[in-house]
Structure 1
Amino acid sequence: MKPLTAEERRTQTVGWLKIIRLRVAIGRELDDRGVKTPLEVGEALGLEAAEAQVLLTSKQWRDSDLERLRILAKRLGVAVSEEESWW
């Protein structure tokens, strides 16, 4: 496997930071709504409980995670800035 270039590592790091911030913002919103159990989280996000759990906690990078989290944040009404300085 070929090592990542500096630009690829930077892109990966920025992507991870965006995912982490989205997860935190979504988690805060769910907490504010009193959503606690995996079943409630899944219902609030419109996903199966297990799928929601994996999306919000997985440590493995998946290409679709960032876009899916953006969609969920928007669905919950969580304001997310797309400016890189926010990340």
Structure 2
Amino acid sequence: MSLSPNQPKSKITPEERQRRATDRLTMIRLRMAIGRELDERGITTPAAVGAALGMPAAEATGLLNRKQWREGAVEQLEAAAARLGVRVPEPASEGWPS
């Protein structure tokens, strides 16, 4: 389905934009924690990463390297972290120190 030049693009709401920003930060933290755990275990090959995360190698590699926000990625990363026994601390709810 493509948009015609005269058809406006749908805009996301400020709430959706905020949710996506929060998801992006969560994904970064999860990817870092998962990557650190895999490194500590000496798991480096795509096949080994896939086996450790319980998914095909290409899917696991894409999940850990993807740069764009994607629906469902947070849940997949949380499941991967749980499978590895990785606990990711929650960020401080307060803003930057003054």
Q: TM-score, normalised by structure 2?
A: 0.77
Matched, 1:57 2:34: no
Larger helix fraction of residues: 1
Give the aligned length. 85
Separation in 1 of the partners of 2:29 and 2:45? Answer: 21
Task: Give the structure, 1 or 2, with the largest relative contact order (CA under 8 Å, sep 6 or more).
Answer: 1
Which stretch has the larger CA shift, 27-36 or 2-11? 2-11
Q: Which has the larger radius of gyration?
A: 2
Shift of 1:63: 1.1
Residues 17-53 of structure 1, C-alpha deviation per residue, up to 9 Å, x if partnerless?
0011100000000000000111111111111110101
Matched, 1:75 2:78: no
Shift of 1:61: 2.1
Shift of 1:7: 2.4
Q: What is the RMSD computed on CA atoms of the aligned residues? A: 1.6
Matched, 1:11 2:19: yes
Residues 45-72 of structure 1, C-alpha deviation per residue, up to 9 Å, x if partnerless?
1111101011111123221110011011
Shift of 1:5: 3.0
Residue 32 of structure 2 is aligned with which of 1, 14, 24?
A: 24
Alignment-derived partner of residue 85 in structure 1? 92
SS in structure 2 of the partner of residue 61 of structure 1: coil
Gaps (5+ residues) in structure 2? Answer: 1-8, 94-98
Separation in 2 of the partners of 1:9 and 1:85? Answer: 20
Shift of 1:84: 5.0
Preserved contact between residue 20 and residue 69 of structure 2 (Cα < 8 Å): no
